[in-house]
Chain A
Amino acid sequence: MSMLVQISNLTKRYITTTALSDVTLEVPEGHIMGLLGPNGSGKTTLMKILAGLVSPTSGSVLVDGMAPGVGTKAKVSFLPDVNHLDRWMSVGEAGDFYGDFYLDFDRKRFEELLTIMRLDAGQKIGSLSKGMVEKARLSLVFSRKARLYVLDEPFGGLDPLARSQVLDALVANFRTDCSMILSTQMVADVEHFFDNVVFLDRGHVVLAGDAEDLRTRRGASIEDIYREVYGHVETR
């Protein structure tokens, strides 16, 4: 199985803090990896590095064999944890914008996703509710035929119904020639989607493995393991 993401001994230091410390992990092609951990564990920093927005202090990062940069940005579809769309744009215009930017943007797919998500291309971003903005952002991200999808908290502002729409879109969208990394704190809702999980704590990988193996070996759900690893309840 070929590895789409290879990270070894990655460290990221900011002036006063160390966000990631000696992180080593791999994501095989065709796999969905769950990146788990409480706030401040380094998930967002790791995802930004994969998206080519933050550069590592030391260690090596390879996405499809290349160090993150202009070349990988064309292959990585990134959902940042905060809204990255301009309020004055309509949903359709945001699609035009993505179409101009990314060669792998599939307009037809975008329209289909808007239907699944029950969004209207004419609506202005500024007039949408938080959950609808999330769905619009996800529609854009999934409309790219990327090699790697990096989704930072994709279920953040979503109600249960919207969450299931997004999960449907996620399964429908998933291909064997791509990989997905998603961070979430709603472990219970999405743990059926993970091939592998990585638990981060204060920048360190504290536990990593195949989700089914972990369930078998520990006789526990990933959510239970999460509680065990972090020693407190904050998943719901």
Chain B
Amino acid sequence: MEFDDRAPIYTQIMDLVKRRIAVGELKVGQQLPSVRDLAQQVVVNPNTVQKAYLELEREGYVATQRGMGTFVSGDRGTVDLLRQRLARDIVEAYVASMRSLAYGPEEITAMAAETARKETK
């Protein structure tokens, strides 16, 4: 996996896990890869993965069962909410970059709609 080295790695691992939860690659109740396995997969320090898991737990997306592993927590509702939240982040970033090119709200929505139609054809 390619990381942006200018931002903390653990937040990027958190995003990776959140995305997997949001799209259903990781289902509620499913076990996450062990810290060591994920560290080997994405080739980072295991402590960094551990930190990402702890933060995800603090935010309530996963729960660790002692000696068993880390599991996706929540229900359909929380997963939908997470997906919406991630979508909103992307939309906000898109709108901000469009604004920096001096586009107005109508043009921004129009261009997004046009691109979306093309992509789905």
Given A194-B45, A195-B45, the answer on whether A222 and B39 have CB atoms closer than 8 Å is: no
Cβ–Cβ contact B46 & A171, under 8 A:
yes
Residue of B nearest to A215 (CB): B8
Cβ–Cβ contact B8 & A192, under 8 A:
no
State A224–B5 Cα separation when bound (angstroms): 9
Q: What band does the interface of chain B fall in when counting residues whose beta carbon is under 8 Å from A?
A: 10 to 19
Cβ–Cβ contact B47 & A167, under 8 A:
no
Residues of B within 8 A of A222 (CB): 5
Type the 1/0 row for A196-236, where 1 means its CB is closer than 8 Å to any CB of B: 00000000000000001001100111111000000000000
Other-chain contact of B7, A164, A192, A215 (Cβ < 8 Å): A215
State A167–B47 Cα separation when bound (angstroms): 15
Other-chain contact of A172, B3, B5, B40, B45 (Cβ < 8 Å): B40
Give the residues from 1 to 56 in chain B that come closer than 8 angstroms, CB to CB, to chain A. 3, 5-10, 36, 39-40, 43-48, 51
Minimum CB–CB distance for A186 against chain B, Å: 13
12 pairs, CB–CB < 8 Å, chain A vs chain B: A31-B47, A168-B40, A193-B44, A194-B45, A212-B48, A212-B51, A215-B5, A215-B9, A219-B7, A223-B5, A224-B5, A224-B6
Give the residues from 41 to 96 in chain B that come closer than 8 angstroms, CB to CB, to chain A. 43-48, 51
Q: What band does the interface of chain A fall in when counting residues whose beta carbon is under 8 Å from B?
A: 20 to 34
Cβ–Cβ contact B6 & A32, under 8 A:
no
Cβ–Cβ contact B47 & A192, under 8 A:
no
Cβ–Cβ contact A216 & B43, under 8 A:
no
Minimum CB–CB distance for A228 against chain B, Å: 12
| Residues of chain A at the chain B interface (Cβ within 8 Å) | 30-32, 164, 167-168, 171-172, 174, 176, 188, 191-195, 212, 215-216, 219-224
Cβ–Cβ contact A192 & B43, under 8 A:
yes
Cβ–Cβ contact B9 & A212, under 8 A:
yes
State A191–B6 Cα separation when bound (angstroms): 11
Cβ–Cβ contact A221 & B45, under 8 A:
no
Residues of B within 8 A of A191 (CB): 5
Cβ–Cβ contact A219 & B45, under 8 A:
no
Minimum CB–CB distance for B14 against chain A, Å: 12
Given A171-B39, A188-B5, A191-B5, the answer on whether A212 and B44 have CB atoms closer than 8 Å is: no
Other-chain contact of A192, B36, B40, B48, B51 (Cβ < 8 Å): B48
Minimum CB–CB distance for B52 against chain A, Å: 10
Cβ–Cβ contact B45 & A193, under 8 A:
yes
Residues of B within 8 A of A192 (CB): 3, 5, 9, 43-45, 48
State A26–B24 Cα separation when bound (angstroms): 43
Residue of A nearest to B40 (CB): A171
State A213–B10 Cα separation when bound (angstroms): 11
Minimum CB–CB distance for A45 against chain B, Å: 26
Residues of B within 8 A of A188 (CB): 5
State A37–B73 Cα separation when bound (angstroms): 44
Known: A172-B40, A188-B5, A192-B43. 5 other contacts (CB 8 A): A31-B47, A164-B43, A195-B47, A215-B9, A224-B5
